[in-house]
């Protein structure tokens, strides 16, 4: 069957059972949009800025097990998308981005809206392609989806020149794909797995440190069983939250820069550390030398060998699909006659509980006068039954949400962990809402972050997305202000947000419901009212305490035990 | 420590820039890089000479392996291997030096491939270290121009990098 390149692209998306494409039209993708127009299987969500298209596709992927798809035009369409692509890359989110390119004969001539898309995106994609022949479109898109979702997932860009999308070729979607230079890991090494079990059984002070890999591999059930069999404390990274239930008694909270005292101290004093789908990044373990001073044994399970021994030395590496590795590890553990020494486990938990008492878990001083941001998140958790999808932007509000919204299920916590992209929250929430129709979706944001993609309120109106925007508005770029207070002598250089819009009127101007909440006593009623409005997007402008800081805090470059607690100041 | 890494990669546009980009983005050293298609025109063979601590070299190997276009790779420095680099060097060859340079070229098993009244152009193929010694023996004052290809490497005997 002969089809145009554009028709082939749409047929490929249909074959991949793509329900939604997030995009924005333009010159180089006109044929593709024309083909999109003439069918109704693949639905298109028209965003207001290409960055938002990619974040929406990202939120779509994070909150499901699907590959997110974005469609943008050449030149500025592509460059606008780059922040979204880099965000997805840092957090290993499966995504396919289709970008238009100037016609093949114009490439390299500085044509109108021409950029080297493959060159610009190379460092922030898992792989990318420039398709120069319509007959290559189908096999390339097949490869793109395969690469995006297998192995360590990631975004894949397919750049398609305008003439290629208009030329005809025979269409046949490949049934399978084989890339001779790409072999995603499967099972782990059985000998290594048996060694790991032995080390864990002999540990006196084990800790399980689980990251976003557990969520991506859908291995939460395996992780929970393992932690229970070992009787060990379990901590999650920012990306891993929800991968282990926060309400479980063996959960010691998030670790890292704003992690709990007990989680960080347990990391520093354990004798065997089991890292699962986590990468020891700087926001998690702080100073590498300080971290390495402790004579603990590290077992590291990850699908990406380059994540192993990148920042810290590892005693026992296991490369493989987390789910398969954990399944095998559990089987060995279940069949072993040995169990962790109960006396050792008890003594270790006594120590962990002492830290918990010293650090006070998470603590803040509530007020009757001024709204504390942590209080809003606690109430948000309460009113949504802890079961909402929560997309967040980046900054203090992100950390407070990570700390105080106790995620019990994976894929509920949607945030830009690696790249830390302000402006991520609202468009990501759109993707979440689309793939989870009827679900409660909140976007926790700040007055800084929300303004980076606030135009998406218009998209939300067009597509009836009843997201609940929880803006913690403290009139400051809070995290910047916090660092300036701690490390720059209270010189608040450019971190005050002057001339803020009236968010209530702004929400109303976009056709939504706006609420302004100034008093602590109004927090709960406002949230209740907002979440009761099932069909409306409600923008809640919470005027919060501008002086509030995120604690605990391990300052940048310090070790995990050099933590600042709330009462230290 | 100096390492020679051999790669077999898809002979596609942009493959070279993926490797070069990886080295610059992650701040790895790159001493030389050579690339050309193999007997199988769909594959290119690349030799990279780099240096770094064991941990860095391990990361370089892993990161290269992670590139989708890299089909196979081998750190030649892990075992017996051969390396050769081609150098073309133009030198001032006048007076007594003219005879001396010819002798030096013979000793290093090079060839004079172009002659003018004032110059010799010498071709030399050997290890990188040997080429360095030759240049040192000639002396900076006489060297007009140096062109080096960077090292190409191959395993000894049955050490074969093939798909």
Residues of A within 8 A of B28 (CB-CB) are none
Question: How many C-beta neighbours within 10 Å does residue B27 have?
Answer: 8
CB contact under 8 A, A181 and B14: no
CB contact under 8 A, B65 and A126: no
Superfamily name and number for A373-550: Thiamin diphosphate (ThDP)-binding fold, Pyr/PP domains (3.40.50.970)
Rounded to two decimals, the pTM is 0.96
Residues of A within 8 A of B19 (CB-CB) are none
Q: B2-79: which CATH architecture?
A: 2-Layer Sandwich (3.30)
Supply the residues of A annotated as catalytic.
Answer: 50, 112-113, 162, 479
Q: Which residue has the tokens 């948000």?
A: A380
**Omega before A552 within 30 of 0, i.e. cis:** yes
| Crossing angle of the two packed helices A5-15 and A30-37, in degrees rounded to 10 | 60
Nearest CA in chain B to A303: B66
Give me the percent of chain A exceeding a pLDDT of 90. 92
Residues of chain A with confidence (pLDDT) below 50: none
A137 φ/ψ angles, rounded to the nearest 5 degrees: -60, -50
Contact A93, A68 (CB under 8 A): yes
pLDDT of residue A334: 95
Is residue A441 exposed (0-12), middle (13-18) or buried (19+ Cβ within 10 Å)? buried
In Å, how far is A120's CA from the nearest CA of chain B? 11
Per CATH, B2-79 and B82-152 having the same topology is answered yes
Q: Nearest-CA neighbor of A307 among A292, A297, A322?
A: A322
Chain pair A-B, CB pairs under 8 angstroms? 40
Q: Which residue has the tokens 């193929």?
A: B125
Is B82-152 CATH 3.40.50.720?
no
Please list, in sequence order, all residues whose beta carbon lies within 8 angstroms of the beta carbon of residue B123, skipping any fewer than 6 positions away: B86, B87, B88, B110, B111, B112, B113
Residues of B within 8 A of A308 (CB-CB) are 62
The one-digit pLDDT tens for each residue of chain B (163 residues) are 899 999 999 999 889 999 999 999 999 999 999 999 999 999 999 999 999 999 999 999 999 999 999 999 999 999 999 999 999 999 999 999 999 999 999 999 999 999 999 999 999 999 999 999 999 999 999 999 999 999 999 999 999 999 8
In Å, how far is B71's CA from the nearest CA of chain A? 4
Could you tell me which residues are beta bridge partners of residue A145?
A: none
pLDDT of residue A568: 60
CB contact under 8 A, B55 and A123: no
Taking the C-alpha atoms of residue A190 and residue B102, their distance in angstroms, rounded to an integer, is 62
Structure tokens at A488: 């720059």
Residues of A within 8 A of B163 (CB-CB) are 180
Taking the C-alpha atoms of residue A245 and residue A256, their distance in angstroms, rounded to an integer, is 18
Taking the C-alpha atoms of residue A179 and residue A192, their distance in angstroms, rounded to an integer, is 28
Taking the C-alpha atoms of residue A44 and residue A88, their distance in angstroms, rounded to an integer, is 20
Domain boundaries A2-167, corresponding CATH code: 3.40.50.970
Q: Nearest-CA neighbor of B82 among B144, B20, B126, B26?
A: B126
Residues of B within 8 A of A180 (CB-CB) are 71, 163
CA distance to A129, B1, B51, per residue, from B30 (Å): 26, 12, 7
**SS (HEC) of A247-279:** CCCCEEEECCCCCCHHHHHHHHHCCEEEEECCC
Q: Provide the chain B residues 29-68 that lie in CB contact (below 8 A) with chain A.
A: 55, 58-59, 62-63, 65-66, 68
In Å, how far is A315's CA from the nearest CA of chain B? 14
Q: What is the pLDDT of residues A151-206, one digit of tens each?
A: 999 999 999 999 999 999 999 999 999 999 999 999 999 999 999 999 999 999 99
Is residue A131 exposed (0-12), middle (13-18) or buried (19+ Cβ within 10 Å)? buried
Tell me the domain boundaries of chain A: 2-167, 190-359, 373-550
Q: Is A190 on the interface with B (CB under 8 A)?
A: no
**Chain-centroid distance, C-alpha B87:** 9
Q: Is A126 on the interface with B (CB under 8 A)?
A: yes
**SS (HEC) of A192-244:** HHHHHHHHHHHCCCEEEEECHHHHHCCCHHHHHHHHHHHCCCEEECCCCCCCC
**Strand A251-254 versus strand A168-170 pairing type:** unpaired
CB contact under 8 A, A179 and B68: yes
Per CATH, A2-167 and A373-550 having the same topology is answered yes
Is A190-359 CATH 3.40.50.10470?
no
Nearest CA in chain B to A143: B68
pLDDT of residue A553: 93
Contact B22, B7 (CB under 8 A): no
Structure tokens at A119: 């060159």
CB contact under 8 A, A306 and B59: yes
Mutation target to probe the A interface, by most A beta carbons within 10 A, among B62, B69, B71, B161 is B62
ipTM over cut 0.85? yes
**SS (HEC) of A112-136:** CCCCCHHHHHHHHCCEEEECCCHHH
Please list, in sequence order, all residues whose beta carbon lies within 8 angstroms of the beta carbon of residue A413, skipping any fewer than 6 positions away: A241, A242, A390, A392, A401, A402, A405, A407
Taking the C-alpha atoms of residue B14 and residue A118, their distance in angstroms, rounded to an integer, is 8
| Crossing angle of the two packed helices A76-90 and A50-62, in degrees rounded to 10 | 30
In Å, how far is A305's CA from the nearest CA of chain B? 6
Contact A320, A185 (CB under 8 A): yes
Residues of B within 8 A of A288 (CB-CB) are none
Tell me the domain boundaries of chain B: 2-79, 82-152
Contact A350, A255 (CB under 8 A): no
Chain mean pLDDT for chain A: 96
SS3 category, B91: strand
Nearest CA in chain A to B62: A306
pLDDT of residue A360: 64
pLDDT of residue A362: 84
Structure tokens at A35: 């083909």
CB contact under 8 A, A122 and B17: yes
Q: Is B123 on the interface with A (CB under 8 A)?
A: no
Is residue A359 exposed (0-12), middle (13-18) or buried (19+ Cβ within 10 Å)? buried
A242 conformational bin, left if phi > 0, alpha if psi -120 to 50, beta if neither:
left
- Residues A89, A90, A95: CA angle, nearest 5 degrees: 25
């Amino acid at each position: 069957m002969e089809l145009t390149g554009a028709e082939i692209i749409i047929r490929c998306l249909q074959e991949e059972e793509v329900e939604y494409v997030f995009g924005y039209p333009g010159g180089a993708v006109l044929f593709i949009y024309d083909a999109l127009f003439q069918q109704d299987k693949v639905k298109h969500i028209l965003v207001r800025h290409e960055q938002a298209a990619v974040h929406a596709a990202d939120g779509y992927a994070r909150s499901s097990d699907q590959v997110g798809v974005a469609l943008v035009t050449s030149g500025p369409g592509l460059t606008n998308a780059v922040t979204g692509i880099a965000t997805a890359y840092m957090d290993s989110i499966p995504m396919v981005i289709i970008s238009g390119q100037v016609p093949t004969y114009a490439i390299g001539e500085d044509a109108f809206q021409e950029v080297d898309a493959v060159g610009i995106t190379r460092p922030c994609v898992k792989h990318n392609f420039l398709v120069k022949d319509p007959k290559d479109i189908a096999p390339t898109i097949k490869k793109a989806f395969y690469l995006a979702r297998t192995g360590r997932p990631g975004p894949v860009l397919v750049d398609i020149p305008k003439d290629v999308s208009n030329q005809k070729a025979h269409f046949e979607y490949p049934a399978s794909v084989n890339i001779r230079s790409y072999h995603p890991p499967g099972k782990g090494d059985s000998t290594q797995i048996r060694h790991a079990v032995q080390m864990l059984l002999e540990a006196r002070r084990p800790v399980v440190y689980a990251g976003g890999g557990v969520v991506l591999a859908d291995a939460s059930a395996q992780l929970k069983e393992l932690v229970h069999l070992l009787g060990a404390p379990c901590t999650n990274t920012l990306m891993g939250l929800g991968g282990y239930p926060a309400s479980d008694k063996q959960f010691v909270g998030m670790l890292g820069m704003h992690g709990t005292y007990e989680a960080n101290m347990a990391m520093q004093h354990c004798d065997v550390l089991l890292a699962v789908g986590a990468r020891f990044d700087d926001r998690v373990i702080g100073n590498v030398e300080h971290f390495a001073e402790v004579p603990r044994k590290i077992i590291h399970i990850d699908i990406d060998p380059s994540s192993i021994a990148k920042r810290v030395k590892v005693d026992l590496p296991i490369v493989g699909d987390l789910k398969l590795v954990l399944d095998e590890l559990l089987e060995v553990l279940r069949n072993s006659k040995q169990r962790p020494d109960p006396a050792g486990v008890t003594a270790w938990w006594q120590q962990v509980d002492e830290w918990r008492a010293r650090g006070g878990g998470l603590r803040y001083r509530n007020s009757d006068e001024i709204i504390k941001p942590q209080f809003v998140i606690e109430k948000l958790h309460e009113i949504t039954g802890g079961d909402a999808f929560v997309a967040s932007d980046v900054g203090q509000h992100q950390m407070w949400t990570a700390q105080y919204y106790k995620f019990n299920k994976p894929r509920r916590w949607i945030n830009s962990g690696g790249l830390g992209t302000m402006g991520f929250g609202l468009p990501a929430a759109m993707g979440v809402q689309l793939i989870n129709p009827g679900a409660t979706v909140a976007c926790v944001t700040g007055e800084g972050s929300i303004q980076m993609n606030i135009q998406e309120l218009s998209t939300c109106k067009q597509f009836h997305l009843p997201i609940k925007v929880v803006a913690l508005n403290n009139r400051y770029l809070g995290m910047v202000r916090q660092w300036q207070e701690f490390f720059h002598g209270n010189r608040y250089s450019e971190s005050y947000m002057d001339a803020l819009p009236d968010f209530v009127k702004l929400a109303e101007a976009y056709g939504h419901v706006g609420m302004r909440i100034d008093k602590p006593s109004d927090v709960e009623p406002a949230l209740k009212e907002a979440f009761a409005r099932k069909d409306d997007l409600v923008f809640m402008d919470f005027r919060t305490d501008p002086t509030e800081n995120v604690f605990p805090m391990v300052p940048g470059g310090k070790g995990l035990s050099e933590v600042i607690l709330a009462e230290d100041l | 420590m100096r390492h020679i890494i051999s790669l077999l990669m898809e002979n596609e546009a942009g493959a070279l820039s993926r490797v070069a980009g990886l080295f610059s983005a992650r701040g790895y050293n790159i001493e030389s890089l050579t690339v050309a298609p193999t007997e199988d025109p769909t594959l290119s063979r690349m030799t990279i000479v780099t240096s770094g601590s064991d941990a860095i070299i391990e990361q370089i190997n892993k990161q290269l392996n992670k590139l989708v276009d890299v089909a196979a790779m081998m750190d030649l420095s892990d075992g017996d291997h051969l390396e050769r680099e081609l150098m073309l060097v133009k030198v001032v060859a006048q007076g007594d030096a003219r005879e001396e340079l010819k002798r030096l070229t013979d000793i290093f098993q090079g060839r004079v491939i172009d002659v003018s009244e004032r110059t010799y152009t010498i071709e030399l193929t050997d290890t990188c270290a040997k080429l360095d010694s030759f240049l040192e023996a000639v002396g900076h004052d006489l060297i007009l121009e140096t062109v080096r290809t960077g090292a190409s490497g191959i395993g000894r005997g049955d050490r074969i990098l093939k798909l």
